Amino acid sequence: MKRIFVAVSVDPAENLKETYHKFRTWFKTDRISWVDEEHMHITLKFIGDTPADRIPGIHHALTRVASAHQAFQASITGAGVFGSTYKPRVLWLGVEDGGNRMAALGRDITGALEEAGIPDDRQNFVPHLTLGRIKYLRQRRKLDEKVAKMQQKHLQDITVGAFHLIESVLGQEGPEYTILHSYPLKSSGQTREKVSGLPWWKNLLRRLGL
């Protein structure tokens, strides 16, 4: 079994690194599992434990999605928290692009993988870059204040020219990541192929208004 996910890699610039280390300093007495700055990424789809013989089908589905999307620009802007005010779970930075192309890429990946037999987890896809997973937080009010001050702060522009199928192996020092396959997106001069982001039966129901 391989624990796998699909993601866009992010090479953090100095401004992003500075923000990351500020959050680590502000909450160094709290129990937060921080993402390694050398392995920052934007998860497009978490697949989870998967038998090795399913990988070729997943690879084929992702190749088809990549052929239908062009490279695009996005920005790392703002911050947020998943979970409730009383029990925050994940601290993240926001991802924005003018045409919601990251969200469209995520939807197409989810739909193609569902056709390949990977269940949809039914969660709304919110493009984000995880900074840390919160185990226990004593300074909840301080976190709210720091996140609020970051709402509109632009941290970094990125070019999304590819996404990757990545294996995660959990170890004592944190997860170790291995890229299994990479999927370059089309350059702006190439013709975009159409691919459905939903299985055929969902598209049929949508057309019928059901």
CA pair distance 163, 208, nearest whole angstrom:
33
DSSP codes of every residue in 121-139: --PPP--EEEEEEEEE-S-
Q: Which of 48, 68, 64, 84 is nearest to 168 (CA)?
A: 48
CA pair distance 3, 178, nearest whole angstrom:
11
The first and second tokens of residue 112, run together, are 């193609």
Question: Of residues 128, 154, 164, 181, which has the active-site annotation?
Answer: 128
CA pair distance 8, 2, nearest whole angstrom:
19
CA 53 to chain centre: 24
Question: Of residues 21, 41, 59, 164, which has the active-site annotation?
Answer: 41
Contact between residue 142 and residue 32 where contact means Cβ atoms under 8 Å apart: no
Q: Which helix (H) or strand (E) holds 18?
A: helix 14-26
Q: Return the half-sphere exposure (C-beta side, CA atoms, 13 A cut-off) of residue 80.
A: 13
Catalytic annotation on 41? yes
Per-residue HEC secondary structure of 149-192 comes to HCCCCEEEEEEECEEEEEEEEEECCEEEEEEEEEEECECCCCCC
* Residues taking part in catalysis: 41, 128
